[in-house]
């Protein structure tokens, strides 16, 4: 049996085991996937364990997407360009890092690309997920400007420096700065790349005032549990276009699944199982 996992801290909210184990079962693959809570101090030890036990690979989530890079053998150019790894493949005991979050972001925003191009955007967050969103915006969609609303401004500055500008203007503000209101009101796209609002803290929102939202906004929340976050509910009430995190979650997972197994994930059936689980969360 081949073993796989997702590592993060905390990790109890993750539906990655349900997604991948469902796909393994549907395709009759002798594989098992689990969620492992790995604290930052134990990351190196965990990576060596996966190598020694010849695991097939693993996913990487908050807060390890950047810290994992020096601990593996190779990082493919796109993941290196993003500066974050969310998928590791074990090929003949060589650990290779990929970033499938980029695929998830690109597919989630694909239908809105023309509306976003040449406009202002706000990304809330400065971790690995924010890096993936910024990469897609800068190199594929090309808005006029991006404002990062963050807890740690130096992290956002590091993203800007590593990704390059591609003629996109940047602004970095602290998430408590009064300038956030202007940034939100002037943006077409608003992205939540933080964990604020994630299960079980479903009443929280990264925006201090829901009245900043309007029907001109596109609000993309990378959180998929709950399926409809507080931010999305507020955006929907304001008449904004909303994009939930489930599509991104499934597409990044399917890309990882393909890297590990060289098989296509049965997307429709997997989505149905995940939607059933997420709906039951609200019961």
DSSP letters of 101-137? HHHHHHHHHGGGHHHHTTSEEEEE--SHHHHHHHHHI
Q: Do domains 2-99+247-281 and 103-244 have the same CATH topology?
A: yes
Enumerate the domain spans of the chain: 2-99+247-281, 103-244
- Nearest-angstrom CA–CA distance, 135 and 152: 19
Under CATH, to which class is 103-244 assigned?
alpha beta
The yes or no reply on domain 2-99+247-281 and CATH 3.40.50.10860 is: yes
How does pLDDT run across 15-69, given as a tens digit for each residue? Answer: 999 999 999 999 999 999 999 999 999 999 999 999 999 999 999 999 999 999 9
For residues 92-106, average pLDDT: 97
Which sequence positions are flagged as catalytic?
A: 65
Of 123, 118, 164, nearest in space to 144 by CA? 118
Percent of the chain at pLDDT above 90?
96
How does pLDDT run across 141-160, given as a tens digit for each residue? Answer: 999 999 999 999 999 999 99
**Binning pLDDT at 50, 70 and 90, where does residue 8 land?**
very high
For residues 88-107, average pLDDT: 97
Q: What is the pLDDT of residue 283?
A: 64
Distance of CA 223 to the CA centre of its chain: 8
**Binning pLDDT at 50, 70 and 90, where does residue 164 land?**
confident
At residue 219, does pLDDT exceed 70? yes
Higher pLDDT pick, 30 / 166: 30
């Amino acid at each position: 049996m081949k073993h796989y996992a997702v590592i993060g801290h905390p990790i109890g909210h993750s539906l990655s085991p349900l997604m991948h184990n469902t796909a393994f079962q549907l395709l009759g693959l002798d594989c098992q996937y689990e969620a492992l809570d790995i604290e930052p101090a134990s990351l190196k030890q965990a990576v060596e364990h996966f190598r020694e036990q010849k695991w097939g690979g693993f996913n990487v989530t908050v807060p390890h997407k950047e810290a994992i890079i020096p601990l593996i053998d190779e990082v493919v150019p796109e993941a290196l360009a993003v500066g974050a790894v969310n998928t590791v493949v074990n090929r003949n005991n060589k650990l290779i890092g990929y970033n499938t979050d980029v695929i998830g972001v690109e597919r989630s925003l694909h239908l809105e690309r023309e509306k976003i191009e040449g406009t202002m955007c706000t990304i809330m967050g400065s971790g690995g997920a924010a890096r993936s969103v910024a990469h897609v915006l800068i190199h594929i969609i090309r808005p006029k400007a991006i404002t990062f609303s963050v807890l740690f401004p130096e992290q956002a500055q590091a993203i800007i420096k590593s990704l390059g500008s591609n003629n996109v203007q940047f602004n970095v503000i602290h998430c408590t700065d009064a300038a956030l209101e202007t940034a939100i009101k002037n943006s077409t796209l608003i992205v939540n790349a933080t964990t604020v609002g994630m299960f079980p803290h479903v009443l929280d929102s990264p925006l201090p005032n829901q009245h900043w939202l309007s029907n001109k906004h596109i609000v993309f929340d990378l959180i998929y549990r709950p399926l409809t976050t507080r931010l999305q509910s507020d955006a929907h009430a304001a008449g904004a276009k909303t994009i939930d995190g489930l599509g991104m979650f499934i597409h990044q997972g399917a890309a990882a699944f393909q890297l590990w197994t060289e098989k296509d994930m049965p997307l429709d059936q997997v989505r149905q199982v995940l939607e059933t689980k997420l709906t039951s969360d609200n019961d």
